[in-house]
Amino acid sequence: MLFKKKEKLQEKVKLRRNPGKYLKNKKLLSLLCIVLAAILSFVVLPKLYEQQADTAMVVAVAENIKKGEIIKANKVIEKKVGAYGLPSGIIKSIQKVEGKVAKVDLLAGDYITDAKIGDFVSDPIIENIVKQGKQLTTITLQSNAAGLASHLQKGDIVNVGTVRETDAGFQVIFETSLKNLEIYDIENADAVSVDDVKASKADAVDAIPQTITFIVTETQAARLLDAEYNGKIHITLIKR
């Protein structure tokens, strides 16, 4: 302790004997502060103000848009805003959002970014079906033979025939509207995709198809339902 006190005392004596060194350090620090202040005043701040003064066109929501809704031009507007601090992926043209699908709920005044919109909400296959004006319709198979004994797969193109009982006997009809239908999926008795069952190498019984879901137009859907309830359906494979 005495030694440290002695050192401090000696340092004070040196400063008193040679105050120039202390003053020089203070002048140097003052000079550095002046230089930094000048840089801030004449370089940094002007650039900051310049950035804040810049403007950019962005696309904002004019009316609330629900998740899954296709964005129309009358529900968005282009507006000029300050360019500083805009979120990444900001969209600046209505043409880039028109026809896209809202991935989230968009409220009036929200800026639209790439992350908030897309071509699909969840399942791109279903979204494409809807955009084409088509729908999914499921029919029940009356027998394993009607479903080609489990040989069908999703994506197959098939013809759907109807066996109807008439006064002259049984008649097989292949309507033009029920030809070249695409299979969306094939399900077992538990409504599980047969393709998934086969991939998991589960019991073969679980891979027996019970229902088939088709990608169809509204007219084809009506004809399929009529065929199911007024006859017996049989499917023939056209191509894979």
What is the predicted pLDDT for the residue at 77? 92
With a cut of 50, say whether residue 204 has pLDDT above it: yes
Average pLDDT, the chain: 78
Cα-based distances in Å from 138 to 49, 68, 100: 63, 24, 29
With a cut of 80, say whether residue 110 has pLDDT above it: yes
pTM for this model (two decimals): 0.48
What is the predicted pLDDT for the residue at 216? 92
Residue 113: what are its φ and ψ, rounded to 5°? -120, 165
Better-scored residue on pLDDT, 87 or 150: 87
What is the spatial distance between Cα 223 and Cα 214, in angstroms, rounded to a whole number? 12
What is the predicted pLDDT for the residue at 220? 92
Q: Residue written as tokens 């004006």?
A: 133
What is the spatial distance between Cα 93 and Cα 57, in angstroms, rounded to a whole number? 8
Work out the percent of the chain whose per-residue pLDDT is above 90: 11
Residue 3 pLDDT class (50, 70, 90 cuts): very low
Q: For 26-36, how does the pLDDT look when each residue is reduced to its tens digit (9 = 90+)?
A: 667 777 777 77
> Would you give the distance in Å from CA 229 to the centre of its chain?
39
- The DSSP code for 113 is B
With a cut of 60, say whether residue 13 has pLDDT above it: no
Nearest to 159 by CA among 149, 140, 143, 146: 146
In sequence order, which ranges of the chain are alpha helices (DSSP H)? 2-17, 19-39, 45-53, 124-131, 194-199, 218-230
Q: For 32-68, how does the pLDDT look when each residue is reduced to its tens digit (9 = 90+)?
A: 777 777 676 666 655 655 555 577 889 999 988 887 7
Q: Which domains does the chain have, with CATH numbers?
A: 55-118 (3.90.1210.10), 128-239 (no CATH)
What is the predicted pLDDT for the residue at 209? 81
Nearest to 112 by CA among 68, 140, 161, 76: 76
Residue 118 pLDDT class (50, 70, 90 cuts): confident
